Amino acid sequence: MTSSAKQFARDWFSGLGRGSLLCRDLFYSLFKVKPVWRDVLYQMYFIGVKSQSVVCITGAFTGMVLCAQTYLEFHKVKMDTATLAVVSVGMVSQLGPVLTSLMVAGRVGAAIAAELGTMRVTEQIDALRTLATHPIDYLVVPRFLAMLLVMPLLSAASVCVGIFAAFLVGVCYLGINPTYLWFNMIHYTDMDDVMTGMIKTFVFGAIIAVVACDKGLNCPQGAEGVGRATTEAVVYSSISILITNFFLTLVLNRLLV
């Protein structure tokens, strides 16, 4: 094994261990320490309200392009009115949660890692410890709770905007009958699809919060370390979301279907 491979394996196992310890401390704080809801509300505003525009634009154009591409294929077999049903199922169970999480990881995950990394470099986290304040309780718990509370709402907004945009494209541009289009969408979209999407958003939100906080709290010294921690937070969160989505899809389809 080469030295670079050994270093990669060492860093990977080290990061896995740090993440496990962070999860242990986080869950201990969640059940033992009362969170400061003022901080949680601020994080909900920062994560949710300020991410709405990005999430809704992503959902809208994803729904429109999925509608157009599905129509091109379904029109060949005279199944035009089933176009919105495919868009709805795909957005609710797969594309909505995944794309929303990727957008939030790129915007909020990077911001969390940069903020905590800067606090570590400037020794503000050490100052919290000297004041008998646990950094997990004060810094990680509000961000984790806010992420869990906001992610389902952001995903729902993305899905609703995407389906509505696809409906407008199907009716106004492609000329599909709106009554049959809407009826088939409601008929073929099950509650199991909605539950699958909601469960995924909770898991993805937890992944983003844990990875971003871990990278920020363990940031190397210097400006270069902050930049590296920010980049790693986005990359690792995105990869973890895509990998976890595959296994969650298999497990949830087996449990809910």
| Domain locations in the chain as residue ranges | 36-256
- The pLDDT of residue 2 is 65
User: What is 82-124 written as a DSSP string?
Assistant: GHHHHHHHHIIIIIHHHHHHHHHIIIIIHHHHHHHHHHHHTTH
- pLDDT 10s digits, 6-39: 666 676 677 777 777 777 888 888 788 787 888 8
Q: Cβ neighbours of residue 147 under 8 Å, at least 6 residues apart?
A: 43, 47, 104, 108, 205, 206, 208, 209
Q: What crossing angle do the helices spanning 223-256 and 191-217 adopt, rounded to 10°?
A: 160
Could you tell me if 207 and 244 are in contact, meaning their C-beta atoms sit under 8 angstroms apart? yes
Query: Is pLDDT above 60 for 190?
Result: yes
Q: What is the mean pLDDT of the chain?
A: 86
Alpha-carbon gap, residue 7 to 138, rounded angstroms = 33
Query: What pLDDT, on a 0 to 100 scale, did the predictor assign at position 177?
Result: 86
What are 219-232's pLDDT values in tens digits?
877 778 888 888 88
